[in-house]
Amino acid sequence: MRSLLFLIFLLVCQMASAQMEGTYSSYPFSQLAINPAYAGTRDVTSMTFLNRRRSVQFQNTYSSQYFTVDSPVGENWALGFQAFRDPYSVASVGFYGTAAYRHRISENEILSAGVQMGITQVVLPNNFVGNNAYPFTLGFGVQYKTPVYYVGLSTQNLVNQTHYYSTAKPIFLTAGYVFSLTEEWKLKAATLVRGQNPGLGFQTKADVNATFWYKNVGVGVWYQSTLQTLGGRDGILGTAEVQLGDRFRVGASYDFNAPHSGDFSFSTQESTIWQFFLRYELDKGTGKVGQMRYF
């Protein structure tokens, strides 16, 4: 019996780690997925819906959905909420609440610290039919942000501090800068460094990206090596975003997958991934809902 319970515990830990990868993968369009300190930093109520899908030209391929909402509350606080459905990994759903404290250093500088808590439904394999696990997750993050650059540090899955769970506690370092090329052309450059202990020593990987904005239209390229949803491969992600008026933004991304051989390909095989997102924002009395924001 003890061996069976230990096996279930180990399995749940590993599956919890795997299912969180889908949530992390939404960060190009929703930084709240990796850093709870991001809540409220846009100074508006921001709602984002994202659909992640493989092989869009075929029917009955998997898709997963992510929803986030965050908003400043009063002068110094912010609250957020995330929900996701990711049947591809372990047929799981999850719900997370976020609270952040924002210290305004100056009119254009904000230092934030946030905490995230939630649960995930993990469906065990056929050997354990009818058994669901609900692992609790806890994350923490800090972020320093100005209108033209930001730096953030966060960690996820702080609970269950045993070596069986070590692969599920990534640390994320993020940074970005907006270069003003002309009055109408902007370049947003950013990076994400992910570190974690896979059991064989601490390892780090990095993503880099660049997005060119012309007025309200942005086109970008991302090099990704940090996401296990790519099956251990690196990937090139092409993105496009359009700001529609003051409140709406829509966008899409496509994974130009990179096989282990290093040859990138543009195809719609099952290993390729599309993402589509819609963002809607409400003014919180700050008058900032119509301002163009690049992160």
Q: Encode pLDDT of 146-171 as tens digits.
A: 999 999 999 987 775 443 333 457 89
Distances (CA, A) of 21 to 65, 184, 223, 282, 291: 13, 36, 17, 29, 32
Q: Quick one: pLDDT at residue 102?
A: 96
Residue ranges and CATH numbers for the domains of the chain are 2-282 (2.40.160.40)
Q: Quick one: pLDDT at residue 270?
A: 44
Given the structure tokens 């250093």, which residue do they identify? 105
Given the structure tokens 């992510």, which residue do they identify? 66
Residues of the chain where predicted confidence (pLDDT) is lower than 50: 1-19, 127, 161-167, 230-231, 258-270
The CA distance from 135 to 118, in Å, is 9
**185-196 and 171-180 as β-strands: parallel, antiparallel, unpaired?**
antiparallel
Q: Do the Cβ atoms of 48 and 67 come closer than 8 Å?
A: yes
Q: Quick one: pLDDT at residue 17?
A: 46
CA nearest to 167, candidates 41, 4, 5, 11: 11
What is the pTM assigned to this prediction? 0.82
Q: Quick one: pLDDT at residue 234?
A: 76
Phi, psi of 24 (to 5 degrees): -60, -35
Residue 127 CB-half CA count within 13 A: 5
Give pLDDT tens digits for 34-71. 999 999 998 899 999 999 887 655 555 678 899 999 99
Q: 3-class DSSP state for residue 14? A: helix
Q: Do the Cβ atoms of 13 and 165 come closer than 8 Å?
A: yes
